[in-house]
Structure 1
Amino acid sequence: MIRTIAKNEIKSALRNTTAILLATIFYLLAGVAVFCGWKNYTTGNEQRKQAKEMFRHEWVEQKANPHSAAHFGTYLFKPFTFISLFDTGLNNYTGNSYRVEAHNQAEMNYAAAQDSDTEMRFGELTIANLFQLFLPMLIIFLCFRSISAERENQTIKLLFAQGLKSSTLLWGKIMGNYILVVGIILPVIITMLVATVLREPGMIFRMLFFNLGYLIYFLILTCVFVAVSALSKNSKNALISSLGIWVVCFIMAPKLVAGISSRLYPLPSRGEFNKMIEFANSKGLKGDKDRMERYKEYLKKTLLKYKVDSVNQLPVNFDGLSMQNGEDYLSKVYQTINDQVEENINKQQNIAQFFSFLDPFLSMQQLSMALAGTDYEHHIHFHKKAQIYRDEFIRKLNIKMAYGDKNYLQYDYEVGPEFFKTMKDFNYSQPNVTWAISNYQYSLYALVFWLGIAILSINPISKKIALN
């Protein structure tokens, strides 16, 4: 009987011109989203590849003092996976390049949002945005008349009089509408899976979980909006209530959660953050001496180590050693202050994951970004790897200056391509899907929680229908 009701629901939906129109619009928008995403993805990758090759060529072909080369530095570029074109997440806001330079611990820079403020206010059109925001509206227009229309037409009493159980009616309606939703998005899902296999097969598990998450998400929404239809006196009320849920959960709640988290755990601006770094590096962290005292203390230790009385008697270039000592302390300062900021960011993340138990949209949004590798955790993972590379990069140049060949003590000491070619490129590998999900396990639990609530609530709601 559930299958029969589902078939009738599908036939009824196919006669619904509004649902067909929304499905057509979805396909058009999906086509635009994939085309624009592919264009941005390929263009961005090509630009990063060319920039990387240019910086590498300029680096290895130079002839310079090691410390001058450290100031010249280089850039590291965050690689974007193929899945990121389906959900750009935070990529447009967190930046895509990292500056490697002496005496400076850089942040990620050159975010796309800096160059397209108006566009970013409305969000970039992606498959994830369509799945998260547009598809729920399509589900609303498929489901809002499911039960309420039966009540308005008085057919629900005839069905019950013939012995049909109210729970069977609800499950039949849910199955019919869910099959329609899956049928609509199936071409898009297959396209994404095939494209991932062809373009980046190592990401197939991420894409499988990406699509599985959305299939669960759509099932939850189908249950919710069929339930709203069942509890509404008429189709008009069902539509208004469903659209109200869409506005509150999908538009207002994310902004409200962001506002609450930023109010409870505020973050410094980049300018304030840089001032904190500079002040702590100059005056010293709590319990440490200031910059000049640290310099004098290190000089004293170095002279004692080599058993000499002055810098001129040292068999090494003290400038190179001193600069590396300063770099080590700068890294300590940066890590200390950055940890404090990250602690607040993690608290903000925890608030968002907590609220995901109240709103399935939030849980799906977080999981989607995590699986696409465009969330905050992936950004920090890259940034930390870039910092490690930067510290070793500068260290090697300072050590070369301190312990170079016989000319290293001369002021105009230079090294050439033979040395610079020994500096390894930065290679970054994105963590696996298990790592991605583990950072958002509470969002995953919230999605499963909502699925359980949606399924378990059907029987109580069906009993209420039978009583009415």
Structure 2
Amino acid sequence: MRIPIIRLISTQFWKQSLQNKAVLFLLLILSLLFAFAAYTGWEDYKIQEDIRTEHQTEVRQQWEDKPDKHPHRMAHYGYLIFRARYPLSFFDYGLERYMGSSVFLEAHKQNTVNFSEAGFSSGMLRFGEVSTAMILQTLIPLFIFFLGFSCISAERENNTLKVLISQGAAWKEIFAGKIIGLLGLVSMVFIPVMILSTVIWFSLTGFKGAFDEFLRLVWIAAVYLVYFFIICSVCVMVSAVSRTSKSSLVKLIGLWLLFIIIIPRTAQAFGAYLYPAPSKIDFDTKVENELVKTGDSHNPKDIYYKGIKDSLLQAYQVKTTEELPFNYSGYIMAEGEKISSGIYNRYWQKQLDIYEEQNSVNRSLAFVNPFQAVKDLSTALTGSDFNSYISYQEQVEAYRYQLAQLMNKLQMENISNKKQQENDKPYTISRDHWKELPDFQYRFITGNQLFQNEITSLISLLLWTLGILLCLYIMSKTIKIN
């Protein structure tokens, strides 16, 4: 292919498009939409993080300020955790509105993450929000189709295509020139968007952003560039095989509806139909029924825990629990917590397996729908995907278990085994022990783990790119002028 010819065709297409006032108007509208999305994303993240930081500090202070208490009472007093958002989530909201913002931690019970914004919103939220990613994924393809639906079909209608071919231009050069011209027009919006996103990221992190976050921004830019290349190539190929510009436009609009609207919605419903997940009530009932079979750690006469008591007395060669070198009730609470957490985690893993099977339907469709691949990668790179939510829940449960077992340990070590009389002062320990509970530190998914989770999307984009290049090569050999 001759670079000067490709440059000439792309430059001519670029200039002709910019002479169209409708194109300039669309560029202005898209710019305003991106500015609005960037501002609302920045404001939403900043407000949410300020509120989270303020309340998390308050919760910690209230925990440490609690007076001398019995450790088991503190375990049931509980702790409140507010979910931290990834700094790049302003770019792509993903599941942010559905994840919930806080979870209450207490002994013997696993609570769900509550107070999602979707729960307080109208049904309009399901149609999506104006985020930077949403515009790039759904509106930019429409913009590309509007610009390029007649890029070759119009020349066929005007008989200028014959002149172009007769002057020595090859089909490969025509395809390359039109695709590069379309990408150039898209870059007029996309490059400023990525620069603005980088500035917002720096602002939200106090200009102390981690290198991993910057690397994710680079990956986001690369993913969307590949996506736009695929869309531009499809647009040019459809225009090349269409005899009229009208038929080309109808085909492209049909493709947009199919890949952006119909397939994703159908896949979600189909996944839920193939792999139905139990409701929260069913899940809680199964866990509760299993717990009943293993006994009640709060009941001193429980048969199961009586067996533990007998084995302890035999092991320490004593006759009563008061003679044990540690607090017996604290030991039983620790055992009960270990058993109940194991049961919950087992059922929760089964629930996750069902969700994974549901998501696999969507994920597999990335091989036939590049929009799905880009959507999955975008939410993963911005920390607003399903895997990030599950990782958060797992870390919160681990922290809840740590809290409960720390209180049980304090009870075992600091509370007397001697039974209290009616007028005795309740057993307590110093409030200084509350500081032994470390702050909750949420660890975001690492880059390596992220790409392991999204390997299907990466492979599908690679296959789409190779497939597009192959189709362009074949068409350049077989397509006819008329």
- TM-score range normalised by the length of the shorter chain: over 0.9
1:26 aligns with 2:30: yes
Which residue of structure 2 aligns with residue 420 of structure 1? 434
Which residue of structure 1 aligns with residue 44 of structure 2? 40
2:306 and 2:76 map into 1 onto residues whose CA distance is: 24
Q: CA deviation at 1:166?
A: 1.8
Q: CA deviation at 1:243?
A: 0.6
Which residue of structure 1 aligns with residue 298 of structure 2? none
Q: What amino acid sits opposite 1:353 in the alignment?
A: R
Q: After superposing the two structures, state which structure 1 stretch, 136-145 or 452-461, moved more.
A: 452-461
Q: CA deviation at 1:418?
A: 0.9
Question: 216, 228, 234: which is aligned to 1:206?
Answer: 216
Question: 337, 352, 357: which is aligned to 2:367?
Answer: 357
Which residue of structure 2 aligns with residue 96 of structure 1? 101
After superposition, what is the alpha-carbon deviation per residue over 1:43-99, rounded to whole angstroms, capped at 9, x for unaligned? 110111111111111101112211111111111222112210111111211223222
CA contact (8 A) 2:100 2:114 kept: yes
Q: After superposing the two structures, state which structure 1 stretch, 141-150 or 423-432, moved more.
A: 423-432
Give the match's secondary structure for 1:145.
Answer: coil
1:194 aligns with 2:199: yes
2:231 and 2:375 map into 1 onto residues whose CA distance is: 14
CA contact (8 A) 1:231 1:461 kept: no
After superposition, what is the alpha-carbon deviation per residue over 1:399-429, rounded to whole angstroms, capped at 9, x for unaligned? 2112215588657112232111121111122
Q: CA deviation at 1:326?
A: 0.9
Over 3 Å counting, the alpha-carbon distance change for 1:408 and 1:57 in structure 2 is farther
1:198 and 1:312 map into 2 onto residues whose CA distance is: 60
Identity %: 31
1:182 and 1:444 map into 2 onto residues whose CA distance is: 22
2:126 and 2:386 map into 1 onto residues whose CA distance is: 19
Give the match's secondary structure for 1:99.
Answer: strand
Aligned counterparts, 1:104-143, within 5 A: 104-143=109-148
Q: CA deviation at 1:284?
A: 4.2
Q: CA deviation at 1:195?
A: 3.0
Query: RMSD of the alignment, in Å?
Result: 1.9
Alignment length (residue pairs)? 463
1:13 aligns with 2:23: no
After superposition, what is the alpha-carbon deviation per residue over 1:134-156, rounded to whole angstroms, capped at 9, x for unaligned? 11111111110101110111111
Give the match's secondary structure for 1:466.
Answer: coil
Q: What amino acid sits opposite 1:294 in the alignment?
A: Y
2:325 and 2:417 map into 1 onto residues whose CA distance is: 12
Question: 320, 326, 336: which is aligned to 1:316?
Answer: 326
Question: 3, 12, 18: which is aligned to 2:7?
Answer: 3
Q: CA deviation at 1:298?
A: 1.6
Q: What amino acid sits opposite 1:59 in the alignment?
A: W
After superposition, what is the alpha-carbon deviation per residue over 1:366-390, rounded to whole angstroms, capped at 9, x for unaligned? 0001100111111111221211111
After superposition, what is the alpha-carbon deviation per residue over 1:243-264, rounded to whole angstroms, capped at 9, x for unaligned? 1000010001111111121111
Which residue of structure 2 aligns with residue 71 of structure 1? 76
Q: What amino acid sits opposite 2:9 in the alignment?
A: I
CA contact (8 A) 1:196 1:207 kept: no
Question: 174, 181, 184: which is aligned to 1:176?
Answer: 181
Give the match's secondary structure for 1:76.
Answer: strand
2:15 and 2:48 map into 1 onto residues whose CA distance is: 45
Which residue of structure 2 aligns with residue 163 of structure 1? 168
2:219 and 2:437 map into 1 onto residues whose CA distance is: 38
Q: CA deviation at 1:339?
A: 1.1
Q: What amino acid sits opposite 2:455 in the alignment?
A: Q
Which residue of structure 1 aligns with residue 477 of structure 2? 463
Which residue of structure 1 aligns with residue 251 of structure 2? 241
CA contact (8 A) 2:38 2:197 kept: no
Question: 270, 276, 281: which is aligned to 1:271?
Answer: 281
Over 3 Å counting, the alpha-carbon distance change for 1:407 and 1:330 in structure 2 is closer
Q: CA deviation at 1:348?
A: 2.2
2:48 and 2:418 map into 1 onto residues whose CA distance is: 41
CA contact (8 A) 1:132 1:365 kept: yes
Which residue of structure 2 aligns with residue 59 of structure 1? 63
Q: CA deviation at 1:6?
A: 0.3
CA contact (8 A) 1:66 1:400 kept: yes
Q: CA deviation at 1:302?
A: 2.1
Give the match's secondary structure for 1:108.
Answer: coil
Q: Which runs of 5+ in 1 are unaligned?
A: 286-290
Which residue of structure 2 aligns with residue 288 of structure 1? none
Give the match's secondary structure for 1:391.
Answer: helix
Aligned counterparts, 1:407-446, within 5 A: 410=420, 412-446=426-460
Q: CA deviation at 1:157?
A: 1.2
2:88 and 2:229 map into 1 onto residues whose CA distance is: 23
Q: Which runs of 5+ in 2 are unaligned?
A: 296-300
Give the match's secondary structure for 2:335.
Answer: helix
